[in-house]
């Protein structure tokens, strides 16, 4: 279980999605994969359905 509040996790998730979108525009596959992994981890902590990123293998 996380030591962060739900609000903090939602904030981190929002920032991770923003970072993912920026990396996608810049065609930075490495950073996209990092953000995709972080997004799935945060979604798991919140108990919400996890996004899939089949093009990244995540």
The pLDDT value given to residue 1? 54
CA distance 52 to 32: 12
CA distance 7 to 14: 11
What the block records as the tokens of 50 is 């996890």
| Tens-digit pLDDT string for the chain (58 aa) | 568 999 999 999 999 999 999 999 999 999 999 999 999 999 999 999 999 999 998 8
The pLDDT value given to residue 58? 87
The pLDDT value given to residue 2? 60
For residue 20, the Cα-to-chain-centroid distance in whole angstroms is 7
Which residue bears the tokens 């739900």? Answer: 6
């Amino acid at each position: 279980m996380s030591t962060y509040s739900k609000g903090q996790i939602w904030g981190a998730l929002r920032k991770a999605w923003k970072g993912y979108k920026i990396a996608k525009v810049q065609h930075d596959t490495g950073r996209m994969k990092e953000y995709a992994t972080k997004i799935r981890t945060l979604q798991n902590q919140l108990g919400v359905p996890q996004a899939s990123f089949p093009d990244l293998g995540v």
